[in-house]
């Protein structure tokens, strides 16, 4: 009986030291396409996504607007108001080289129906509910994002 208990304790110790991590990590991705730079930072614990911060830098030029003034006029007409959506933070900044849109999603607080209603965009709710970092990694790499290793 003692040997069995000792063996169980050793196995428990080995399992607790296994590479399955409960620590919080950040996976970073980028995609640069002509006048638009996109950066996505996923905070995850193991395979479960906790939150994501998405930054789009849309440079002034021929794409949407030529300068800061045109950008302000553009967003006055087209900006999506995401205020009041639980789990979402949205910020728009007019920088010297372009407009920086930052959206943060806290998956534990995110109200998908409110987000759909405010944004007017039909969301793939199933993928939000899965919250799998492995699936997201494959999807982003398939869409020409590069993983940033630090």
User: Looking at the domain assignment, is residue 2 inside a domain?
Assistant: no
User: Looking at the domain assignment, is residue 17 inside a domain?
Assistant: no
Q: Which two tokens stand for residue 122?
A: 């039909």
What is the C-alpha separation between 103 and 55, in angstroms, rounded? Answer: 7
User: Looking at the domain assignment, is residue 12 inside a domain?
Assistant: no
Q: Model pTM? A: 0.78
User: Looking at the domain assignment, is residue 11 inside a domain?
Assistant: no
| 21 CB-near residues (< 8 Å, 6+ apart) | 45, 46
Domain boundaries, position 71: 23-148
Q: How many domains does the chain have?
A: 1
How far, in whole angstroms, is CA 77 from its chain's centroid?
Answer: 26
User: Looking at the domain assignment, is residue 29 inside a domain?
Assistant: yes
User: Looking at the domain assignment, is residue 7 inside a domain?
Assistant: no
CATH number at residue 73: 3.30.1830.10
Q: What is the pLDDT of residues 24-51, one digit of tens each?
A: 999 999 999 888 999 999 999 999 999 9
What is the C-alpha separation between 31 and 141, in angstroms, rounded? Answer: 10
User: Looking at the domain assignment, is residue 18 inside a domain?
Assistant: no
Which of 4-8, 19-23, 65-69, 108-112 tops mean pLDDT? 65-69
Number of H helices, E strands in the chain: 5, 6
What is the C-alpha separation between 60 and 36, in angstroms, rounded? Answer: 10
How far, in whole angstroms, is CA 72 from its chain's centroid?
Answer: 25
User: Looking at the domain assignment, is residue 5 inside a domain?
Assistant: no
């Amino acid at each position: 009986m003692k040997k069995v208990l000792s063996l169980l304790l050793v196995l428990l110790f080995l399992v607790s030291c296994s590479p399955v991590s409960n620590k919080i990590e950040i996976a970073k991705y980028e995609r640069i396409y002509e006048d638009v730079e996109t950066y996505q930072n996923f905070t995850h614990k193991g395979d479960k996504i906790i939150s994501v911060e998405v930054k789009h830098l849309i440079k002034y030029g021929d794409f949407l607007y030529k300068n800061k003034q045109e950008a302000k006029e553009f967003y006055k007409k087209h900006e999506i108001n995401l205020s009041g959506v639980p789990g979402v933070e949205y910020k728009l900044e007019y920088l010297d080289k372009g407009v920086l849109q930052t959206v943060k999603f806290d998956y534990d607080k995110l109200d998908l129906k409110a987000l759909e209603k405010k944004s007017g965009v039909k969301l793939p709710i199933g993928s939000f509910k899965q919250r799998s970092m492995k699936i997201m990694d494959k999807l982003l790499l398939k869409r020409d994002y590069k993983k940033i290793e630090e």
